[in-house]
């Protein structure tokens, strides 16, 4: 292989999109670029108090073009561009959108350009809690358990619940909707110049984990399942898909329009899409029975097991198990926490309230200085909280928290749940509360490992990926102590984008299999955390307290719902 074979990986996160150009020979990063969604940063189309989080497709399109062109410029321009062979994309999920017959998101048409229901419904949008509950109540009426491969519980974060909610609340969108498409499937369709919604190649990853697609069912559940749930869904499966594609398959090649926009060749092969954590697990060099934890705003935990060893095993309360959703030939099992980095961001916003709301009233400093001070303090708050929290003694009487600030993803999805903090006193200060929150997120991680193990799936090791894994030694050491397991941190900064680049190398024919691309392009690990045995006993007691508090919180919320 010559050294001038490059591939592009594009990773769409919750706040930004990042693109990388990778040398397919050795996985070396040639260039990277990050674009923060401007509409999202302004809070447009979102209503956090009502769990509404929507993103405009223009944020995605603009970011795609800007980051790839920026990468090409950084890497050396045309010389690099003409040797780019493949491009693959990962996105958050489930993040679907209503499209017209041409496969165009409705928000890109004049009539719906400012309508949040015509935009992408971000994974963390929980406006469809009621619809998810109805799906869970409806499923047992059928002889076949259509929820068996998604842990037995359907979530408001997923495909069908979001679709039903949008169809119910917005008649204009309902009448204009021809199909419903995941973000990770739409971007490859866009890049390859697709013109008809039925031509969209649906990824195995998104279809199996979020849309109830399964090989056993011969595709999606039958129309009867959805039509008897709500007549609005009658016939909708005919507008969707039967066949799915693992991410080592090509979606096509760059269209002339996008080749010109990006400065690339129409020979560039575009891969079928998948979710960020699943491609991130590949970028992070996942191994069978090692849990890959992508730690960002939420966590998405991925484990792979050989299909021959899984046989008829079904794991309760996770986000699905799908053959080929991560690596073809292996079953990908997904779990995660609905709020991880978001928990720390929430507390940061709490303690930053005076900076954000009162500083501008100061008569001592000017507006420019006030803004600069807010920016500086914003960068310092979390590292300083972590530093001071690390100095605190670990004690059974410390403040205790529950990490369900955006509901609970796994084990056992329940987005109605809320976070909690107890044990507060006049001696409770910001570092103590921060420590309790960090501890809660680590206890939440332990509950996921415990569920896998109790269901007969061993967890042999942990791989840390993402912003929190790279930036917070305090949290990573605590997690190792609480789980009683070493954690290896992958050295690559944009690991999900690297995983996408590995798939791009496969669809471009540079490597025949995902495993060979991983072996050649993997960048290894630069940090490893080991559990401190001195803390084992106290954390075991704290974990029992965490579980007891969680049961109490869940009970109280259930009682409130009944009243």
- Give the confidence band of 467 by pLDDT, cuts at 50, 70, 90: confident
- Cα separation, 519 vs 503, in Å, equals 12
The yes-or-no verdict on residue 19 having pLDDT over 90 is yes
- 305-359 tens-digit pLDDT: 999 999 889 999 999 999 999 999 999 999 999 999 999 999 999 999 999 999 9
Question: How distant, in Å, are the alpha carbons of 21, 69, 73, 80 from that of 76?
Answer: 11, 11, 5, 6
What end-to-end distance do the CA atoms of the chain give, in Å? 68
Overall average pLDDT of the 26-42 stretch:
97
- 523-534 tens-digit pLDDT: 899 999 999 999
- Cα separation, 142 vs 457, in Å, equals 28
**Residue appearing with tokens 């730690």:** 295
Host H or E run for residue 192: none
Radius of gyration for the chain, computed over Cα atoms and rounded to the nearest angstrom: 23
CA within 13 Å, CB half, 262: 29
Residues listed for the chain: 563
- Give the confidence band of 561 by pLDDT, cuts at 50, 70, 90: confident
Sequence-distant (≥ 6) Cβ neighbours of residue 168 within 8 angstroms: 131, 174, 230, 232
pLDDT at 332: 97
Question: Whole-number mean pLDDT of the chain?
Answer: 96
- Give the confidence band of 51 by pLDDT, cuts at 50, 70, 90: very high
- 165-175 tens-digit pLDDT: 999 999 999 99
Sequence-distant (≥ 6) Cβ neighbours of residue 182 within 8 angstroms: 91, 93, 94, 95, 96, 159, 202, 203, 206, 210, 211, 273
- Cα separation, 182 vs 118, in Å, equals 13
Structure tokens at 431: 């570092």
pLDDT at 224: 97
Nearest CA to 24 out of 2, 55, 50, 52 is that of 2
pLDDT above 70 covers what percent of the chain?
99
The yes-or-no verdict on residue 2 having pLDDT over 70 is no
pLDDT at 1: 43
pLDDT at 562: 87
- 249-260 tens-digit pLDDT: 999 999 999 999
> What is the residue-wise DSSP string for 510-534?
SSSSHHHHHHHH---EEEEE---GG
For the chain, domain boundaries: 6-284+492-526, 341-491+532-562
| pTM for this model (two decimals) | 0.93
Nearest CA to 408 out of 306, 335, 333 is that of 335
- Cα separation, 453 vs 456, in Å, equals 5
Sequence-distant (≥ 6) Cβ neighbours of residue 5 within 8 angstroms: 23, 24, 25, 83, 85, 508, 510
- Cα separation, 239 vs 227, in Å, equals 14
- 274-302 tens-digit pLDDT: 999 999 999 999 999 999 999 988 999 99
Q: Which residues of 487-501 are buried (b: 16+ CB within 10 A; e: fewer)?
A: bbbbebebbbbbbbb
pLDDT at 3: 65
- Cα separation, 107 vs 55, in Å, equals 10
The yes-or-no verdict on residue 360 having pLDDT over 90 is no
**54 pairs with which residues across the strands?**
121
**Residue 551, Cβ neighbours under 10 Å: how many?**
10
- 485-528 tens-digit pLDDT: 999 999 998 999 999 999 999 999 999 999 999 999 998 999 99
User: β-strand 84-91 against 269-271: which pairing, if any?
Assistant: parallel
- 452-464 tens-digit pLDDT: 999 999 999 999 9
- DSSP code of residue 360: G
Judge if 6-284+492-526 and 341-491+532-562 fold alike in CATH terms: yes
**Residue 275, Cβ neighbours under 10 Å: how many?**
34
**Residue appearing with tokens 């909280």:** 385
CA angle 506, 507, 512 (to 5 degrees): 40
The H-assigned helical ranges of 327-366 are 341-351, 353-357
**Residue 3, Cβ neighbours under 10 Å: how many?**
11
Nearest CA to 206 out of 236, 189, 242, 181 is that of 181
CATH for the stretch 6-284+492-526:
3.30.420.40
Contact 128, 416 (CB under 8 A): no
**99 pairs with which residues across the strands?**
105, 179
Q: Where are the strands (E) in 296-403, listed by range?
A: 299-306, 321-323, 330-337, 400-402
Contact 235, 51 (CB under 8 A): no
- Cα separation, 245 vs 517, in Å, equals 18
Overall average pLDDT of the 210-228 stretch:
97
CATH for the stretch 341-491+532-562:
3.30.420.40
The yes-or-no verdict on residue 474 having pLDDT over 90 is yes
CA angle 122, 126, 132 (to 5 degrees): 115
> What is the residue-wise DSSP string for 139-190?
GGGSSS-TTGGGTT---TTSHHHHHHHHHHH-HHHHHH--EEEEHHHHHHHH
């Amino acid at each position: 292989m010559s050294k001038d074979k490059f591939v592009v990986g594009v990773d769409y996160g919750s706040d930004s999109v990042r693109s990388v150009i990778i040398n397919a020979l050795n996985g070396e990063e040639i260039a990277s670029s990050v674009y923060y969604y401007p509409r999202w940063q302004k809070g447009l189309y979102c209503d956090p108090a009502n769990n509404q989080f929507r993103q405009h497709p223009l944020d995605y399109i603009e970011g795609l073009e800007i980051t790839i062109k920026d990468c090409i410029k950084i890497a050396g321009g045309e010389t690099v561009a003409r040797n780019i062979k493949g491009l693959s994309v990962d996105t958050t999920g489930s993040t679907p959108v209503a499209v017209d017959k041409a496969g165009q998101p409705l928000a890109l048409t004049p009539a719906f350009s400012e309508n949040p229901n015509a935009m992408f419904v971000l994974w963390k949008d929980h406006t469809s809690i009621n619809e998810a509950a109805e799906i869970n109540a409806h499923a047992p009426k059928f002889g076949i358990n259509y929820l068996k491969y998604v842990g037995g519980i359907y979530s408001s974060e997923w495909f069908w619940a979001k679709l039903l909610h949008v169809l119910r609340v917005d008649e204009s969108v309902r009448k204009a909707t021809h199909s419903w498409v995941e973000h990770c499937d739409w971007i490859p369709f866009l890049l390859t110049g697709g013109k008809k919604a039925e031509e969209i190649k649906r990824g195995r990853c998104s279809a199996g984990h979020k849309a109830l697609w399964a090989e056993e069912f011969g595709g999606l559940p039958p129309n009867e399942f959805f039509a008897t749930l709500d007549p609005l869904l009658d016939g909708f499966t005919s507008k969707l898909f039967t066949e799915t594609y693992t991410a080592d398959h090509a979606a096509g090649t760059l269209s002339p329009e996008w080749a010109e926009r990006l400065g690339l060749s129409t020979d560039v092969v575009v891969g079928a899409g998948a979710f960020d954590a699943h491609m991130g697990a590949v970028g992070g060099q996942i191994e069978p029975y090692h849990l890959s934890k992508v730690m960002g705003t939420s966590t998405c935990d991925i484990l792979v097991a050989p299909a021959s060893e899984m046989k008829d095993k079904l794991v309760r309360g996770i986000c699905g198990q799908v053959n080929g959703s991560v690596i073809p030939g292996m079953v990908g099992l997904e779990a995660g926490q609905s709020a991880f980095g978001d928990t720390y961001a929430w507390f940061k916003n709490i303690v930053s309230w005076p900076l954000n709301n009162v500083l501008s009233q100061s008569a001592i400093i000017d507006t420019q200085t006030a803004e600069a001070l807010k920016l500086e303090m914003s960068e310092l708050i979390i590292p300083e909280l972590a530093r001071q929290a690390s100095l605190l003694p670990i004690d059974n009487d410390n403040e205790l928290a529950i990490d369900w600030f955006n509901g609970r993803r796994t084990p056992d999805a329940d987005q109605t749940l809320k976070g909690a903090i107890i044990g507060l006193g006049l001696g409770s200060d910001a570092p103590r509360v921060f420590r309790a929150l960090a501890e809660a997120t680590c206890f939440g991680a332990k509950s996921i490992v415990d569920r896998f193990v109790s269901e007969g799936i061993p967890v042999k090791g942990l791989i840390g990926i993402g912003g929190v894994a790279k930036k917070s030694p305090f949290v990573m050491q605590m997690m190792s102590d609480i789980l009683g397991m070493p954690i290896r941190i992958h050295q690559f900064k944009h690991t999900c984008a690297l995983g996408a680049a590995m798939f791009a190398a496969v669809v471009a024919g540079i490597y025949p299999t995902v495993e060979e691309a991983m072996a050649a392009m993997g960048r290894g690990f630069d940090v490893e955390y080991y559990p401190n045995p001195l803390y084992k006993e106290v954390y075991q007691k704290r974990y029992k307290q965490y579980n007891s508090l969680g049961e109490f919180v869940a009970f109280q919320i259930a009682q409130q719902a009944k009243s």
